[in-house]
Each structure stands twice: as C-alpha cells, then as structure tokens.
Amino acid sequence: MKCYVALAALVASASASKVLESLNGADRSELEQQLTKWKTLYGPIAQQNGFTPESAMSVDQHTDMELLRFHETVQAVEQAKKDNPLAQFDAMNQFALLNDAEFKQVLVQSFGNQTFNAPPLAAEAVGAADADWSSHKCNPPVKNQGQCGSCWAFSTVGTVEAAHCLATGTLLDLSEQQVVSCSTNGGSMGCNGGFPPSAIDYMQQGVCLQQDWPYAGQTGSCNKNCQKQQLSIGKTIQTSGESSLQNALTKQPVTVVVEAGNAVWRNYKGGVVTQCPGARSDHAVIAVGFGSSTGQYFKIKNSWGAQWGENGYIYLQRGVGGKGMCNVAEGVSYPELKGSSPNPPQPSSYTPSPSSKNPTPKPQPTSFRPVPSTPQPYPSTRNPLPTAPTPSSSKPSPTRKPSPSTPNPLPTAPVPSSSSPVPTPTDDDCGDWDDDDDDDDDNGGDVPAPTSRSPTPPSPSTPSSYKPTPTPPKPFPTRKPSPSSRSPLPTAPTPSSQSPLPT
C-alpha cells in the first residue's frame, strides 16, 4: 500500500512538472507571485481548516504541486467567469489548493445517500415582491464549519435561532457541536453528514448555548450535562419548489440544500450565479431572501466564513423552474413560527453587480468650508465691535483719573489698532469658524482669552470726550480716561470689521 501511495505521488509530481514547463517565464513568474499573495492572505485559514495539501507551506518557496493546484484553480476561475457573466470569481479563497476531488469529498460527506422528495406546499399568494432577512436583528452572523461535514447542523441551527428570535425577540447563540455530536435522527452521523429536517426535529427538545459547548470541528461524543435552552419553535415543515421557497421567505429564513461541489461555489466572489454545473445536492445552507434589483435572485447565507463570497453570502438566479439554480429549491425545511410573523424586511440599497464585489459608498460632504475667493468681512460669534466714540469739542482734563472704586486694568497684551490686519486663518480638520470652546477650528484654534479679564465698565452717562487717535496708529497714552467716557474693552482681540479676510 505504501509503495502504491509513493508511486501515485511520483506520477502526480511528474505531471505537475510537465504542465508547469509549458508555461513561459512571464506566466510562471506571475503565477508564483499570485501564489505568494494567496499564502499570505488565505494560507493561515486554509491550514486551520485543513484545506491545504501536505507541504511546508513556505511563503517564499513553492513546490511544483502547489503551483499546479493553484494554476488549475486560476483556469477554473476563468471558465466560471465565461459561464456566469453576472457574477465574479477569484482564486483568492481558502480552497485554492484543493483539487476537484478533494473539494467534493468535503461536501459529499454532508448528506450520504439522503434524498429529498417533499412535495411543494399549497400555492398561496406571495405577500411581498422581495425580502431580505440578512440585515434583521434575528439573523445570526456568518460562521465557518471548517473541514467537518457539518453544514446540515450549521444551516438548521441558524434557521432555528432566527425562528426563536422572531417569536421571542431574543437571538440565542446555540451550539452546533451539540447537534453534530448528539443528533442521530434520520441517519445523521456527525462530521460524516446529516439530514436537515431530522436535525430540526432534534432541536425541539432544546439546545445548549455555544458558550457552554463550543464548536470543535469533529463529531466528538454527546454531552448530556449542559443546560439546554427551551426554544419557541413549532413543528418541522418540509417543502420544495421555487414558489414554496419564496412564500416561506416572506415569513422567515429557511434551510435549503444545494449542489456546491463545483468551481462556481468554490471560487465565488459576488454577483448573481446564472449557471451551476453538477446535478446532485451536497451542501446545506440558509436562504435569507429574494429580490429582483438585478434580475431575479435568491440570497443565500453559507457556512464557509465571512471571507468567502459576498461577506459569506451568494446570489442564485431565481425563476429557472424545477429544482432551481444549483438545486436551491429541491429541499426546503424550517420550523413553524410560534405567533404571528413580522413583515419581511426589504432588501438593502445594495444591488449585486458584476462590476464590483462591494458597493462604493456615496461620498459625504465634509464639514470644511472653503475660504471665499472674494474678500468678505471676518465673521465672528463674539460681541459686536464697540461703536466709535462721538467726537467732542471739549478737551479731556489731563488731571482726571479713574475712580479707585471701579478699577479697570488693561489686558496684559496690547490691544491692536483698528487698522491692524487680520491674521490669515489656518485650516484644520473642522469646518466652522472660531468659537468659544477649546476645539480646533479652521483658524488653528480658538482665540486665546486675555490672561486677565476686566469687568465690563458701566455704560457712559454722558457723551464721550475722548478723541480717536489719528492715523498713523500710536500706542495708548499713559494717562487713563475716565470710566464714564471709556468704551467697553473687548473680551478678546477682535479684528476690525473693515479689514477684508485674506484669500
């Protein structure tokens, strides 16, 4: 047996070398660069989930076998793009170093020889033109089942969590591991596959929380000591057909089976899948909505992690009849809701598009206000400038001094002349003008207050006898005018309203 394995490995290595020799120098160099990038981005998660061949997985050195597998994935991506013009595909995913047989083996364990033959439900009018539960508070986050063939447990646990939340308003994080290890209904065999309707039947008796029984990625043994949560769910319903699936989605998310062991699912990145190779269902997922913004589609949540597809989701064409695209309508199962069903949420503004994986956010206006090109008076939120004192023919008495009962010390910094130029404002990350708080503004911050503020003197009872200083401006005289004739001092240096704002 060991000789056979060694011989097979030798033949595979020789085949890989022959294929790689057919590449020219530029193509091989580009392939090596892409593989280096893949090992950096997806190598760790691929190794964690067991999706890498036996190799040293050196980032800088690649074996011929690794290069061959990655080369085959790149070729499969190009073919998927031709077959599905409304979707996007990329070799940058955790499955890139698995060959077709290995990838299918991971999925084929999920069901064994189970078949789905539930009849469609009685026809009923569809209550909504579209629905999308992915943004609802009762939609659990995307999870990753790893290499264990436990999709049947992940899809049914997610569907039951949503149904319980819609009935009670509380979203629980239930243990997939309990279902994998303990549910043997209908021939379920842990990581070797299971039957979704039977798993829903099993959960009628209650399920432990994820924190009490975390997921281990293997079948394990059944632990009956954890505290089970009693769930508000009804009987298990099974159906088939696109119309029945669409009707069910107007009430709640549901479990569906699909044919996913192909390059389309393996390398999917976004958009609507319109052609799906294969015929046999081998994977269980959660249908969360339907719409028609870019053609008719069903929206599906997978259990391969949020790095796969569109943040863990895939769009499948709707309206093809029969079992549906990728068999999405072949086997539909879900727990009956207890109580009335809420109105289905409408799809978000995002539209699956072949042009990009994620929508480009609409640019928002910033708070910055550009400086006007034409001179304008400098805006101020402070007290208005004092009015110019009225000239008087009488000369001020040189011997008069301010009353000692109402001292008014001058500010420590000299008050600028009314003809002094306004400092050029400095832009920062905000868009408002100077104010009275300590936050940065467009002029580099608030104007600092004088170190010593003077109380506002009383309003003059008689016309002022003070004459304004003639041009050119001179410093204030040493003598102090009477408080009855002085104008109120500004609380901070205030530029003249006649000086234009520098552009």
- Given 151, 191, 276, 326, which residue is catalytic? 151
- Given 84, 267, 302, 443, which residue is catalytic? 302
**Amino acid at position 66, single letter:** E
CA angle 281, 285, 286 (to 5 degrees): 135
Cα(176)–Cα(160) distance, integer angstroms: 11
Spell out the residues 6+ positions from residue 389 whose beta carbon is closer than 8 angstroms to its own: 464, 466, 467, 468, 485, 487
Cα(267)–Cα(91) distance, integer angstroms: 6
Cα(301)–Cα(200) distance, integer angstroms: 18
**Amino acid at position 469, single letter:** T
62 is catalytic: no
* Token pair of 329 as six digits: 């309508």
Would you call 316 helix, strand, or coil by DSSP?
Answer: strand
Per-residue burial over 287-321, b if 16 or more Cβ lie within 10 Å, else e, is bbbbbeeeebbbbbbbbbbeebbbebbbbbbbebe
Spell out the residues 6+ positions from residue 33 whose beta carbon is closer than 8 angstroms to its own: none
- Given 208, 283, 327, 443, which residue is catalytic? 283
268-273 vs 87-89, strand pairing mode:
antiparallel
CB atoms within 10 A of CB 283: 26
Would you call 29 helix, strand, or coil by DSSP?
Answer: helix
For residue 217, the Cα-to-chain-centroid distance in whole angstroms is 27
302 is catalytic: yes
- As a whole number of angstroms, the longest Cα–Cα distance in the chain is 123
Q: Which helix (H) or strand (E) holds 103?
A: helix 100-108
Torsion 256-262-265-266 (CA) sign: positive
Distances (CA, A) of 73 to 41, 69, 304, 316, 439: 16, 6, 18, 22, 55
151 is catalytic: yes
Cα(14)–Cα(437) distance, integer angstroms: 75
Token pair 């400098």 is found at 378
* CA-based end-to-end distance of the chain: 85
For residue 490, the Cα-to-chain-centroid distance in whole angstroms is 51
* Token pair of 316 as six digits: 């499948």
Would you call 21 helix, strand, or coil by DSSP?
Answer: helix
Cα(247)–Cα(124) distance, integer angstroms: 8
Does 472 sit behind a cis peptide bond, omega within 30 degrees of 0 on the bond before it? Answer: yes
Q: Which residues are catalytic, by number? A: 151, 283, 302
